[in-house]
């Protein structure tokens, strides 16, 4: 859901058009003096210069500069990549949660020489992300926009040729930026890094969050009670459902036998298989994503005859060191109504498993979320839990697990259970989901399916694919993304999005793109590299690299 943003003060206003996945246009405003106060004059000037691009959207005139014209047409065609965030100071840089963490770490480092090296690496990564992200936007541009940009660039009218020009210009601009920074004295260099950081735009979920709360404040008490009741139910049933043995399950086994770590730890997917349903059986079958319709009205479908997991790597920072994470994403065609007036029902559903490997190179923490960000649960390896007890003592606040419970003003991350780590070679992760709701029931690292269900009703092979293909799916004569410019899956809204809007959440329940997912009622960003360390009690013995 999107709502207009109003300012109660007389001030310079900038209108930021966007097209949410429901097709409506939202506008936001911001006082220019507030920008100056919070970011500094030089950063404010840089931000104003980027707003020229947005102002051009209102007048229908594309900027003359090549880089600004790309941003203009990406916004005009609604193909903007929601998972990478622009900075108004440098068009050739894009940031995700990991890149922002790296830049912040560089800015906080007291040793200037080390800080400069850290910043160089952070900006180089942000430059590579920009080339990848903008290249994806170019691939999704309309033929008219592609022709106009290619004419300005002096290259063939093709996405490939234009992407080559983009890459060359972005690399040149990045090298010039780094060279200029190297020539700056320490104070000027730190100010420049701060300007880049201050110019990073917010995530779609964070834009106008306060405005949504203010406009719908009268409804907030009912929403707070509803969230509290739901939270109590989740906590109460979390451990019970992990222990139950199901009458039947359907299983999807990864068919990729390559030696890559991403394939090695790809999970076996198991879905509860009831004897009868009041909805189509296909709703409980994982599938491959495809698109239909037109550029102006993209329809997302899931083909359950082609079960697929979409994979990508990430990184966690724990006790000052980086550890590999592997992410596996699945999609269902629909989330059926399980009760009368089920507000969570809707088209397109799915979830994500994220495995964090410890210093032994084996999965030590498993997280499962629904792709809207709901239902986040954590499972820890049994030896990690034992090490946590040895280091920290018993669970705090009457909890069940020693790894859980760092005190915070935010909601706690929920530890749903432990799993046994085994040296048994065939063992691979297994995710167990509920029928219909597709909520997580259990995670384990074992080949013993008898512990999960009385019988296996169906067993099918599962393919692996790169997550990024979801941004370049065939549509007509070109390609498009399953996600809108706001990161939401096209036309997959839920009625709960309206019910929870007074909390400030954007389209609650609607599946969204990686990098934009918030968890625990929007208290945390799922992709934050420090999420686990900041919310769990993780023993140093398991997170010490040789």
pLDDT for 338-368, tens place per residue? 999 999 999 999 999 999 999 989 999 999 9
- Given 201, 228, 250, the domain boundary residue is 201
Tell whether 305 and 416 lie within a shared domain.
yes
Tell whether 260 and 214 lie within a shared domain.
yes
Under 8 Å between Cβ of 351 and 331: no
Query: Mean pLDDT throughout 487-512?
Result: 93
pLDDT for residue 60: 54
Tell whether 261 and 345 lie within a shared domain.
yes
Say how far apart CA 140 and CA 149 lie, in whole Å: 13
Tell whether 186 and 254 lie within a shared domain.
no
Q: Is residue 8 part of a domain?
A: no
Q: Is residue 509 part of a domain?
A: yes
- Given 175, 201, 227, the domain boundary residue is 201
Angle (nearest 5°) at CA 86 between 84 and 89? 150
Backbone dihedral region for residue 378 (phi beyond 0: left; psi -120 to 50: alpha; all else: beta): beta
Tell whether 194 and 287 lie within a shared domain.
no
Tell whether 407 and 331 lie within a shared domain.
yes
Q: Is residue 443 part of a domain?
A: yes
Q: Is residue 59 part of a domain?
A: yes
Q: Is residue 14 part of a domain?
A: no
Q: Name the residue with tokens 């993304």.
A: 481
Tell whether 440 and 477 lie within a shared domain.
yes
pLDDT for residue 225: 81
Tell whether 182 and 220 lie within a shared domain.
no
Kind of pairing between the strands at 415-419 and 377-381:
parallel
pLDDT for residue 416: 93
With H, G, I as helix, E, B as strand and everything else as coil, classify residue 186.
helix
Tell whether 255 and 223 lie within a shared domain.
yes
Give the tokens for residue 115. 């800080």
477 Cα distance to chain centroid: 28
Q: Between these two residues, 64 and 185, which has the higher pLDDT value?
A: 185
Q: Name the residue with tokens 């550029």.
A: 295
pLDDT for residue 109: 96
pLDDT for residue 51: 46
Tell whether 356 and 434 lie within a shared domain.
yes
Give the confidence band of 423 by pLDDT, cuts at 50, 70, 90.
low
Tell whether the model's pLDDT for residue 2 goes beyond 50.
Answer: no
φ and ψ of 402, to 5 deg = -70, -25
CB atoms within 10 A of CB 340: 5
pLDDT for residue 514: 98
Tell whether 374 and 443 lie within a shared domain.
yes
Q: Is residue 19 part of a domain?
A: no
- How many domains does the structure of the chain reveal? 2
Q: Is residue 7 part of a domain?
A: no
Instruction: For residue 361, give its domain range.
Output: 209-542
Query: Mean pLDDT throughout 245-264?
Result: 89
- Given 176, 201, 226, the domain boundary residue is 201
Query: Mean pLDDT throughout 128-137?
Result: 97
Tell whether 147 and 164 lie within a shared domain.
yes
Q: Is residue 447 part of a domain?
A: yes
pLDDT for residue 1: 36
pTM: 0.87
Angle between helices 32-39 and 41-59 (to 10 degrees): 140
Say how far apart CA 132 and CA 243 lie, in whole Å: 43
């Amino acid at each position: 859901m999107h709502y207009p943003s109003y300012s109660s003060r007389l001030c310079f206003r900038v209108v930021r058009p966007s097209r949410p996945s429901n097709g409506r246009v939202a506008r936001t405003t911001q006082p220019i003096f507030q920008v100056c106060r919070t970011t500094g004059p030089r950063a404010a000037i840089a931000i104003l210069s980027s707003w020229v691009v947005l102002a051009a959207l209102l007048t229908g005139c594309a900027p003359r500069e090549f880089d600004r014209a790309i941003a203009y047409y990406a916004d005009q065609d609604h193909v903007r990549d929601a998972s990478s965030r622009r900075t108004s100071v440098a068009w050739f840089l894009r940031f995700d949660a990991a890149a922002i963490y790296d830049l912040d770490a560089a800015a906080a480092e007291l040793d200037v020489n080390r800080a400069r090296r850290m910043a160089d690496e952070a900006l180089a990564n942000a430059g590579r992300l920009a080339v990848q992200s903008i290249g994806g936007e170019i691939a999704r541009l309309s033929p008219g926009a592609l022709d106009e940009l290619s004419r300005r660039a002096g290259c063939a009218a093709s996405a490939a040729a234009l992407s080559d020009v983009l890459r060359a210009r972005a690399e040149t601009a990045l090298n010039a930026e780094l060279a200029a920074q190297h020539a700056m004295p320490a104070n000027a260099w730190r100010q420049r890094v701060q300007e880049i950081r201050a110019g990073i735009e917010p995530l779609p979920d964070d834009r106008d969050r306060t405005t949504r709360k203010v406009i719908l404040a009268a409804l907030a008490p009912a929403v707070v009670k509803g969230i509290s009741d739901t939270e109590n139910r989740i906590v109460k049933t979390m451990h019970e459902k992990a222990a139950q043995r199901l009458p039947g399950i359907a299983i999807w086994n990864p068919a990729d036998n390559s030696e890559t770590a991403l394939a090695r730890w790809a999970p076996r997917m198991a879905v509860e298989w009831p004897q009868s349903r009041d909805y189509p059986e296909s709703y409980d079958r994982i599938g491959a994503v495809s698109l239909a319709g037109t550029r102006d009205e993209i329809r997302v479908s899931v083909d359950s005859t082609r079960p697929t997991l979409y994979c990508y790597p990430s990184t966690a920072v724990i006790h000052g060191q980086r550890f590999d994470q592997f992410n596996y994403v699945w999609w269902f065609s629909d989330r059926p109504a399980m009760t009368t007036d089920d507000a969570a029902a809707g088209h397109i559903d799915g979830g994500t498993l994220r495995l964090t490997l410890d210093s032994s190179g084996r999965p030590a923490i498993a997280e499962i979320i629904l792709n809207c960000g709901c239902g986040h649960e954590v499972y820890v390896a049994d030896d990690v839990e034992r090490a946590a007890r040895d280091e920290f003592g018993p669970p705090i606040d009457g909890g069940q697990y020693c790894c859980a419970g760092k005190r915070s003003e935010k909601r706690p991350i929920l530890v749903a259970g432990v799993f046994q780590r085994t040296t048994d070679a065939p063992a691979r992760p297994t995710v167990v989901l509920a029928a219909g709701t597709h909520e997580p029931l259990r995670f384990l690292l074992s080949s013993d399916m008898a512990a999960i269900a009385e019988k296996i009703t169906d067993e099918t092979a599962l393919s692996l694919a790169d997550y990024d293909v979801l941004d370049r799916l065939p549509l007509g004569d070109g390609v498009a993304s399953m996600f809108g410019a706001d990161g939401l899956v096209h036309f997959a809204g839920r009625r709960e999005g309206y019910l929870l809007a007074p909390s400030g959440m954007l389209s609650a329940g609607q599946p969204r793109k990686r990098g934009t997912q918030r968890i625990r009622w929007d208290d945390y960003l799922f992709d934050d590299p420090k999420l686990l360390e900041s919310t769990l009690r993780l023993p140093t013995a398991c997170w010490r690299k040789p």
